[in-house]
Amino acid sequence: MHAVRNIRLCTKDCLCLYVCPTGATDTEDGQIDAEKCLSGCRACVDACPSHAISLVPEEYPAPQEKTEEVKEILVDMMDKNSSQIELLDKIARDTDDTVLRQLAVALSKSSALVAEDFIRESGFLLPQGEETKKLLKAMLTENSDGFPVEEARRLLELL
């Protein structure tokens, strides 16, 4: 594991500079040098008052294999969940009732998180997953207007 900094959260309090035993933290560019970072040290993570630093694994585990039937069910559940999100968003837009609007917005956000879980579990939101590669390749062959073709090709090369 090594530390990473979310630059959006960083308040430049710079306590990480004082506690890092290897000098891996750098507030000028916001990066933490993974080569210098001691695995599991946590000194900067624990010292950061804005909670902008966290630990990430060096390697992520391979996605769990799922049968085609399970993938189809997950995608179907995501589609149904997306329909619910559309309905909740419409309710939030159309109602004059403040409480109902707040409830619809909260339920919509919650449903979006669940839909994301369904699609991730089916293998689509994992960049290293085969489903993502298949999707990108399919999108390249469709050549839709405004699609970032070169970026998609470069991403496929990296994957």
Domain ranges of the chain: 1-59, 68-158
Question: Structure pTM?
Answer: 0.47
Mapping DSSP to helix (H, G, I), strand (E, B) and coil, where does residue 65 land?
coil
Among residues 105, 77, 106, 74, the alpha carbon closest in space to that of 91 is found at: 105
Q: Crossing angle for the helix pair 130-142 and 149-158, nearest 10 degrees? A: 150
Structure-token pair, residue 8: 């959006």
Q: Considering only CA atoms, which of 131, 106, 114 is closest in space to residue 78? A: 114
Quick one: pLDDT band at residue 151, thresholds 50, 70, 90?
A: confident
**What mean pLDDT do residues 76-101 have?**
93
Summarised one tens digit per residue, pLDDT across range 38-72 is: 877 889 999 999 898 998 888 877 767 788 898 88
Q: What is the pLDDT of residues 8-18, one digit of tens each?
A: 888 877 788 88
**May I ask the CATH class of domain 1-59?**
alpha beta
